[in-house]
Structure 1
Amino acid sequence: MHVHLLQHSDFQGPGRIADWLTSMGHSHTVFHLHAGEAPPSLADCDALIVLDGPPGSEDEAELPWLKRERKLIGRALDGNKPLLGIGLGARLIAEALGAAVGRGSFTEVGWHEVTRSAQSPFDLPERFTAFMWHQRVFALPDDALPLGGSQASPVQGFAWDGGRALGLLCHLEVTRAGVAELLDSAEPPQGDAAGPNVQPREAILAEGARFDRLAPLLDRLLSQWLSTARA
């Protein structure tokens, strides 16, 4: 399979997703939309992944490529190819499905526990810890199933059309080096920096094993998601 990935920031790239695709024998192309590259054609791929982006990335007045990206997501939803969104990507998919997207009650930065929903069609642990980097959230789209939630964000993800379209607020793809670069280079999501759901840099990077534990979760999720292409 060949997978297109849409990137919106120098510091929010594919992370482990790129390595996973290669290890499983899939090819991929990353389109750096923030650097002026145009959104690709769906005809040239078997699946589409829309990555996270910086705050304010949903403003078409400032980002001329965003209108074309929204149209691309709409065509992907209308088609039969697997579609995965993370962070900003998940919000754009939720928006295209008619769900409300907006500022959440709490900012989540750092490591937080996700409890799997009983309705989730994806085989993930009942509870797992994921990396968070968001202030904006989405409601559950109509006809979608919830994947799970955290204490601060009840909807951490959704599956639509039998799991073919998947949105994740949390991050399973990050590496320690990638998060360190993100913390060094990007403004964190706006919100209460002293809130209980915002962790300092030292706490985020303290335990390298947390990043390692994301790898099998990502493997399980991506394997099940791409299987929808053959369903």
Structure 2
Amino acid sequence: MRINVLQHTPNEGPGSIQLWSQQHGHEMYIYHPYQFGGVLPTAEETDMLVILGGPMSPNDDLDWVKQERKLIAEMLKQNKPMFGACYGAQQISKTLGYPVSKAPAKEVGWAPIYLKSEAVSGIPKKLTALHWHEEMFEVPDEAELLFSSDLVKNQGFVLNHKIVGLQFHFEPMPDNVREMVVNDFPYIEGSKLNQTAQDILDYPVPGENQEVMFRILDYITE
């Protein structure tokens, strides 16, 4: 399987998604459209698409942001698996015709999320995830709400056994968290989670997050 990853900032990489790919013997290609003139794969050369987070918004008037949605639309048409994290989930929702808007609260740091659907088996009812956002997607009518948090209802959706979008991050491993914090610590200001950069660094990444990330990837590629 060829997994094409759209990465949108240097400090938010595929993390455990890359580990899952390696363990399954897949080939992963990582694209950086924000840096290299909007270079993107085609749907025809994509068996699975991963759209990662980033500081931009789907509402930004940027050609490559719009081109990503054309790729997502083609993936939807071809019924191929997709996973979106944060901005990536927002891009999927916007491609389906739903707005992306300011969330009720800016969430940056570790906070619990709660399972709202049994579509993906074996996921605990409550987990602690890394949040790094202040916008949110609308859950498409054709999708199921997958997760919610205490501050923001729309934290995840699952669609057609092929697509999962999460507003938060399951994919970062400890080194990834450190990379996010040391580079993007100013973004923590104003978060309703009231955590400092050191608080976020000191919190151990839950081992079950990787397990759940793997379950989600297994589910959309079954």
Q: How many residues align?
A: 220
Aligned to 1:164: 162
Aligned to 2:95: 96
**What whole-Å deviation, never above 9, does each CA across 1:69-100 have from its counterpart, x for those lacking one?**
11101111111110111111100101111222
Shift of residue 32, structure 1, vs aligned partner = 1.1
Aligned partners of 1:158 and 1:8: how far apart in 2?
Answer: 21
Residue 192 (structure 1) aligned with residue 186 (structure 2): no
Aligned to 1:108: 107
Q: 1:121 to 1:178 in 2, by over 3 A?
A: same
Is contact 1:135-1:191 (8 Å) kept?
Answer: no
Shift of residue 187, structure 1, vs aligned partner = 5.6
Shift of residue 192, structure 1, vs aligned partner = 2.4
The within-5 A match list for 1:122-141 is 122-123=120-121, 124-141=123-140
Shift of residue 188, structure 1, vs aligned partner = 5.1
Aligned partners of 2:95 and 2:164: how far apart in 1?
Answer: 13
Give the partner amino acid of 1:7: Q
Q: 1:179 to 1:190 in 2, by over 3 A?
A: closer
Q: 1:74 to 1:26 in 2, by over 3 A?
A: same
Superposition TM-score, scaled by structure 1 size? 0.89
Q: Which runs of 5+ in 1 are unaligned?
A: none
The within-5 A match list for 1:148-159 is 148-159=147-158
Aligned partners of 1:175 and 1:25: how far apart in 2?
Answer: 20
Aligned to 1:44: 45
Shift of residue 58, structure 1, vs aligned partner = 3.8
Q: 1:64 to 1:26 in 2, by over 3 A?
A: same
Helix, strand or coil at the partner of 1:219: helix
Aligned partners of 2:68 and 2:174: how far apart in 1?
Answer: 29
Shift of residue 153, structure 1, vs aligned partner = 1.1
Residue 222 (structure 1) aligned with residue 217 (structure 2): yes
Helix, strand or coil at the partner of 2:221: helix
Aligned partners of 1:215 and 1:16: how far apart in 2?
Answer: 6
Question: RMSD across aligned C-alpha pairs, in angstroms?
Answer: 1.7
Q: 1:188 to 1:149 in 2, by over 3 A?
A: farther
Q: Which runs of 5+ in 2 are unaligned?
A: none
Aligned partners of 2:67 and 2:81: how far apart in 1?
Answer: 19
Give the partner amino acid of 1:101: V
Residue 203 (structure 1) aligned with residue 199 (structure 2): yes
Aligned to 2:35: 35
Is contact 1:5-1:30 (8 Å) kept?
Answer: yes
